[in-house]
Amino acid sequence: MEEKKQLKKTYSNEEITVVWQPEMCTHSKKCWKGLLEVFDPREKPWIKLDGATNEQVKNQINQCPSKALSYQLNNL
């Protein structure tokens, strides 16, 4: 049986890389209701890291109940 490959999309700036795994998303809307300046489902791309500080982005991602959004710090 062939295993389905999970889609992962990444969005980066100099300090942080945000990973979005759409198959995991439960559509709680916490990301965009809490930080629409970064997470805007009406836009393409829907994640724009220049809309807030990296600290605000990390705090909002930490509220994602499904963990469809995660982040990693880039080596500076």
Q: Give residue-wise pLDDT tens across range 10-58.
A: 999 999 999 999 999 999 999 989 999 999 999 999 999 999 999 999 9
- With a cut of 70, say whether residue 2 has pLDDT above it: no
Domain count for the chain: 1
Q: Is residue 61 part of a domain?
A: yes
| Residue 48 located in a structural domain | yes
57 compared with 3, residue with greater pLDDT:
57
Residue 54 lies in a domain: yes
Answer yes or no: is 4 within a domain.
no
Contact 28, 66 (CB under 8 A): yes
| CATH number of the domain to which 38 belongs | 3.30.70.20
In a domain, 2, yes or no: no
| Structural domain range at position 30 | 9-73
